[in-house]
Amino acid sequence: MIPSALQGFFAKPVPCNSEVEPLEMPLLRRRAPRGALLRIACPDPTTEEMHRDRHQYRAQWLVRQERWEEMAALLHDADDNREMTPGAMPVAELMAFGARADVILAAEHALFDGKPASDAPLMAGIEALEHVLADHSKSHVIAAIVAQAHMDIGWAWRGTGWDGDVPARNRTAFEAHFDRAEEILAPFEKDTAGSPLLAATRCALLGGSGADARMVADRYERLIDLNPENPRPMRAMGNHLLPRWHGSYDQLELE
């Protein structure tokens, strides 16, 4: 006797006369000629992110080691040589962000809901940067970093809502940080003519000022002339010329 569990192994195969129907395959469409295809060159996102991270983290690591002179020299060279990533992001701006990242990220975390805790050390980071600026008072590169840090913290106080929705305390802090940023940049006005980083920082000041459309266009024109390969200032200028900021749709069409 063969156990029932094993009967299937010893059973004789039953002949099957039914034919297996072939699977229906979709029709392959003829590909367009190679020359007729539209090809749009674009950067590899992964490669671009790797480039950006490398420049940011390099500056961040150097300032964490208190090697400000070395970081400033590298940033100055990148700014002077108009170095950019494959995705056309200025290396100097990436390094400037890395140099202030620890300070602004801590402030943004404390101001996440617009109401910082009473014991939040909001001023500790920016005061440390102010001490660095005092030690390097002739460096327009470090001045740009500290001014940008003030503006970033100002935006963290204000938030991105409509102007009428910003609490008075937050608006006051926003304006104070932008005023301080303008004071920091004032001694380096002449250096703006040769530094895209400084020119970009002065354009960022427009977010906290009552500038008119002509001033917006003039500042961005200077920045664009300093580095025509960078497409971002054109988009930023268009944003600042909207009626919500400093311009009008007519002015936007003219520029």
pLDDT interval class at 242 (50, 70, 90): confident
Q: Is residue 33 part of a domain?
A: no
**C-alpha distances in Å from residue 29, one per residue of 26, 32, 40, 212, 224:** 9, 9, 23, 57, 47
pLDDT of residue 157: 93
Structure tokens belonging to residue 141: 């590169």
If one compares 10 and 173, the residue with the highest pLDDT of the two is 173
CA distance 17 to 179: 90
pLDDT of residue 12: 53
Q: Is residue 178 part of a domain?
A: yes
Domain count, the chain: 1
CA distance 42 to 54: 20
Other C-beta atoms closer than 10 Å to the C-beta of 107 total 25
CA distance 144 to 163: 26
Q: How many residues does the chain have?
A: 255
Q: Is residue 28 part of a domain?
A: no
Q: Is residue 83 part of a domain?
A: yes
Q: Is residue 147 part of a domain?
A: yes
Judge whether 72 and 34 are in contact, CB under 8 Å. no
Judge whether 206 and 244 are in contact, CB under 8 Å. no
CA distance 84 to 51: 9
Q: Which domain holds residue 167?
A: 47-254
Give me the residue label for tokens 């072939």: 22
pLDDT interval class at 119 (50, 70, 90): confident
If one compares 110 and 211, the residue with the highest pLDDT of the two is 110
Per-residue pLDDT tens digits for 5-27: 445 444 555 555 556 565 555 55
Span of 42-51, 62-71, 133-142, 198-207 with lowest mean pLDDT: 42-51
Burial of 65 (0-12, 13-18, 19+ CB in 10 A): exposed
CA distance 131 to 129: 5
pLDDT > 70? residue 249: no
Q: Is residue 9 part of a domain?
A: no
Judge whether 91 and 83 are in contact, CB under 8 Å. yes
pLDDT of residue 159: 87
Helices (H), 136-167: 140-158
pLDDT of residue 2: 45
Looking at the chain, the whole-number percentage of residues with pLDDT higher than 90 is 53
- Measured on CA atoms in the order 195, 200, 206, 212, is the torsion positive or negative? positive
Q: Residue 147 gets which letter from DSSP?
A: H
Q: Is residue 222 part of a domain?
A: yes
Q: Is residue 233 part of a domain?
A: yes
Over residues 152-177, mean pLDDT: 89
Over residues 222-232, mean pLDDT: 92
pLDDT of residue 90: 97
pLDDT of residue 143: 97
Per-residue pLDDT tens digits for 41-95: 776 778 899 999 999 999 999 999 999 999 999 999 999 999 999 999 999 999 9
Nearest alpha carbon to residue 60 among 52, 50, 51, 71: 71
Span of 12-21, 37-46, 128-137, 160-169 with lowest mean pLDDT: 12-21
